[in-house]
Amino acid sequence: MKMVMVWIRIELMDQMLCSAYKGEQDQEQMPAMGAVAANDVFGKQSHNARPESDDDSYPHLNTNGKFIPHRRIVHLDLKGGAFRLEFFTEIFYYLNRIKATGILIEWEDMFPYTGNLSVAVNGNAYSIDDVETILKEAKRHHLEVIPLVQTFGHLEWILKLEQFAHLREDVRFPQVICFPEPEAWNLITDMIDQVAEVHRKHGMPYFHMGADEAFQIGVCNASLIEMGRQGSRDRLMLWHISRVAKYIKDKYSPFRRVWGSSAWKGADGPARFNSNPVHYIRNHEAWVEQLSRNYNEFDMLQGLILAGWSRYDHFAVLCELAPVAFPSLAMSMETVLCTPSTTMGITYGCQFPGSKIYELVNEFWQRRKQLQQYREDDFEMNGWLSRVADTYMSSSQWYIDKIEPLLEYHARPILRLEKDLRNELSRIYFQETVDEFIFTYMAEDIEWVQRKIDSAQRISKLNHFPKRPFVLLKPHEEL
């Protein structure tokens, strides 16, 4: 189980929230009509309407006494699967309709930093004009925007580079910055300032300073010296969190409130590319219970952030793409709102941003399982088109004739899905995301079926085969 501390928020200053978890994998698959609840929600609100609970009453409870978070913020993680500019309008329209009240944008290397930070910026990064457009669109759809800048851990995108490697907390790991080092502090405040200067023009009631997954602390010389002053490793962490919070609070004046943090995608395994909505709905049911029991322990529970990771960190593979998880988000939002669907029956033709990608990815997941079972269990395939047959072109053509139709049966849909997914993904994502998804989750299966088809066709044309022994394998070198 991968445990992370809920993001420390600057409104809390030196308070810490409870823990959230990534992991606890639930293997229940998405039901065939899994998007029905999402589609029920889609039709209930007019375009650009303000969310129903966006009023000043507190606490906001339903008729059963369940606490409804006043602010429901959806996290958009752009360190993986960053969207093309034109797709943001579709996303914001959708978020407004499912009654989200705002977004938390984690820009990472997609923000157009200048100065020393410019060398770390993604080649596909947005321009300042693009960022302005995104923020204006969010405001037009009545979504408040909270910027997220990592100020502790999750700084691989900077620390992986040679010119910043000397600022690592641990020289081996480019995750955590050596935060007591003056040069590191200047880098952190530069990131904050550049992002905040753009956001504040469009309204910036809150600022998220990250502070999760800081695995290496008290390692670099500057940290050891400061830890000696502070008295312990924990106090060293709080010293840094507190001074970052004070810097933002003094300069940009956000408010002091308590928040919770759940998840709507990217918290069910780093390589989970299809959605598992039951996992997230159960998480939100638990949050509703906890909030309902404990809201009166605080001056105000400001809201709930629904986190949606695109990668577990900068180096990890892409996990669920946003369109795959949008139905799960709608069902999670409905759970948080404590308002069951008022429509009856089944809704057909569910529409949401990237719905075709959702369909194609779930079809691929099913086809992939079928192909894996075929590869592991098929009698003829494993007996007469093995690696030996591939390599040495020696097999029984009688069996090959039986294998070829089944190979084609499995290959055709996989190859079709690659083509269709490329077309649909390219509409929403930059080319690197398209290529990375295909390479990570589809390429091995595609290469396997193509290699087997090629071997079967070549063997079918042969009239003679080598006598034994013909399998030669050089001993592997010792490690």
Catalytic residues: 213
- Percent of the chain as helix, strand, coil, to the nearest 5: 50, 10, 40
Q: How far is CA 72 from CA 47, 51, 261, 289, 387, in A?
A: 18, 10, 10, 16, 53
Distance CA 318, CA 270 (A): 7
Strand partners, 42: none
Distance CA 417, CA 81 (A): 19
Q: What are the structure tokens assigned to 215, written together? A: 């695995």
Q: What are the structure tokens assigned to 216, written together? A: 């290496």
Sheet holding 71-77, edge to edge: 144-148, 102-106, 71-77, 301-308, 258-265
Tell me how many degrees the CA angle 236-177-218 measures, rounded to the nearest 5.
35
Residue whose C-alpha is closest to residue 320's, from 437, 419, 417 = 437
If you search the block for the tokens 């010119």, which residue do you land on?
Answer: 163
Dihedral angle over CA of 194, 198, 203, 207, nearest 10 = -20
Distance CA 227, CA 236 (A): 5
DSSP code of residue 87: H
